[in-house]
Amino acid sequence: MKVALVFSIQLGFLILVQCASNQFLPYSKFLKIQHLKQTYGSPNLSTDDFVVHVDSHDGLKAADKISRLPGQPSESKFNQYSGYVTVDPHHGRALFYYFIESENNSSTKPLVLWLNGGPGCSSLGSGAMMELGPFRVNKDGKTLSINKYSWNQVANILFLESPAGVGFSYSNKSSDYKTSGDTQTAKDSYTFLVNWFERFPEYKTRDFYITGESYAGHYIPQLAQLILNSNHVAINLKGIAIGNAYIDDETQQTGSRDFWWFRSIVSDEIHDGIVKHCNFSWKSVLSDKCKTYLNEEYQMIRDIYAYDIYAPLCLNGTSVETTGFDPCSEDYVQSYMNIPEVQKALHANLTGLPGPWSDCNYDIFNNWTDQPFSMLPTIQQLMGTGIRFWMYSGDTDSSVPVTTTKYAIKKLNTTIKTPWYPWYLNDEVGGFAVVYENLTFVTVRGAGHFIPNFKPDRALALFSSFLDGKPPAS
């Protein structure tokens, strides 16, 4: 998998995105990325602020049904659908989805929306094909194998490629690709859901959850807030769960620095210099001395796989697999998604997109227009609504390390109900958990950023606990 982190010093803060490279790239290369942090927190989103376009969806569900994906194992026994939902007919903006019904009593199972982050990365490529979906792409890039820990064992899972320009999602107005941001993504995702429920009306009253990872730490709270503030349509939102959540810039930076130091990747001298000379708080400006230490830190971390500090790199399309994780998985998915027969089976790329499908769109990332400094005010508001709120972290991820989430939770000043304890799966410690007032935090031991890929059994156990509303068993 050719994936690493790109860091950029912009307005005094480090920004992350998945990048098709084996290494960290120099800070200076992305100094001109325009990330506009116009506010400390996210605006209070409401459907009163925009027009929600709703189409007729007669017959579209049947048209979206997938008969079979190329290379799909014959023993697959569940319904799957994919296609487009128009969210703005004036711009010709349409979002692509992939939906898998549960293999066990789908009519009684909840509906779960999964969102990957970036911003600008695909929930189909990463989420469905590399993490929690029913299939994994084999090394040949042409065939699929069964994921025996697929989350559709316990829920109906909906994957959304958002915003327009990500994966197969598109707009007929190219300027839309230069105006994407947190707010527009939330509005389009909400409009997508309203229309998707018209296409699949049997799910309108179903218990609904939103899950995802990384920069979905912005997407998920914003979309949840919009759903709860909506007077347009009733969506039965029961809870949200975010993995390795990018939710607060200050703790993202302090937590990352401490993680690398705790794991003996960065020296005491460099870490002490960063602590002494760097101020990552709201509206602060990094000093030249701070930048010097950050660049020294970069020299230490640049050749380590950011999404799991103990995993090998994907070098020239080959890797040394460890514990079942293959860092070249993204290459296999890239090949599979660009097979014409696969796109035809998925009802994708109907308009002839200008380039090949890719897991992340860096033009979207580079032109991202609004990005609140912190999602904690929105999270605090959601915690008071009564919906279930979980965060979870793979503890070997250095892109959004476990320390960043722990530090962010401290800023919420919430009360501990059940102190930190180990949870178990198959007589092994699966991770650790702590229950707060209106918030549960769970770690997954030995997992990197893409938790269902690194530790699929523990990820499924965690997800099942979340749906049950019970912390993992001690």
In this predicted model, what pLDDT tens digit does every residue of 55-82 receive, in sequence order?
999 999 999 999 999 999 988 889 999 9
Banded pLDDT at 22 (limits 50, 70, 90): very low
Residue 319 has pLDDT above 70, yes or no: no
Whole-number pLDDT of residue 354: 85
Q: What Å distances lie between residue 10 and 31, 34, 429, CA to CA? A: 6, 8, 40
Q: Which pLDDT band holds residue 440 (cuts at 50, 70, 90)?
A: very high
Q: Do 353 and 343 form a contact (C-beta atoms < 8 A)?
A: no
Structure confidence at residue 39 as a pLDDT band (50, 70, 90):
confident
Model confidence pTM above 0.85: yes
Q: Give the percent of the chain with pLDDT over 70.
A: 91
Give CA–CA dist 137/326, Å, rounded: 11
In a domain? residue 177? yes
Q: Which of 159-168, 240-249, 255-264, 304-313 has the lowest mean pLDDT?
A: 304-313
- Asked whether the predicted pLDDT for residue 6 surpasses 80, the reply is no
Residue 17 has pLDDT above 50, yes or no: no
Q: Within 10 Å of residue 456's Cβ, how many Cβ atoms? A: 21
Q: Does 16 have pLDDT greater than 80?
A: no
| Location of structure tokens 């007669």 | 58
> Amino acid letter at 157?
I
Instruction: Report the DSSP pairing between strands 237-243 and 388-394.
Output: parallel
What is the predicted pLDDT for the residue at 267?
98
Indicate whether 13 belongs to any domain.
no
Tell me if 105 is assigned to some domain: yes
Range with lowest mean pLDDT among 13-27, 191-205, 309-323, 365-379: 13-27
Whether the per-residue pLDDT at 318 is higher than 80: the answer is no
Taken in order 392, 216, 108, 73, is the CA torsion positive or negative?
Answer: negative
Q: Is residue 228 situated within a structural domain?
A: yes
Q: Is 304 domain-assigned?
A: no
Q: For position 29, what pLDDT does the model report?
A: 36
Q: Domain of 168: which CATH number?
A: 3.40.50.1820
Taking all residues of the chain, what is their mean pLDDT, rounded to a whole number? 90
147 within domain boundaries:
yes
End-to-end CA distance of the chain: 34
- Asked if the structure places residue 371 within a domain, the reply is yes
Residue 7 clears pLDDT 50, i.e. is over it = no
Q: Mean pLDDT, to the nearest integer, of 83-91?
A: 96
pLDDT per residue over 102-115, tens digit each? 998 999 999 999 99
Over residues 431-446, the mean pLDDT reads 98
Q: Per-residue pLDDT for 141 more than 50? A: yes
pLDDT at 53 over 50: yes
The residues annotated with a catalytic role in the active site are 214, 397, 449
User: Average pLDDT of 310-339?
Assistant: 85
The total of structural domains in the chain comes to 1
Averaged pLDDT, 404-422: 98
Kind and range of the H or E run holding 216? helix 216-228
Residue 398 confidence (pLDDT) above 80? yes
Tens-place pLDDT, residues 148-169: 999 999 999 999 999 999 999 9
Whether residue 171 has pLDDT greater than 70: yes
**Section 451-456 average pLDDT:** 96
pLDDT of 353 above 80: yes
Contact 82, 61 (CB under 8 A): no
d(CA 441, CA 434): 5
Domain that holds residue 434: 39-248+327-468
Residue 373 is assigned to a structural domain of this protein: yes
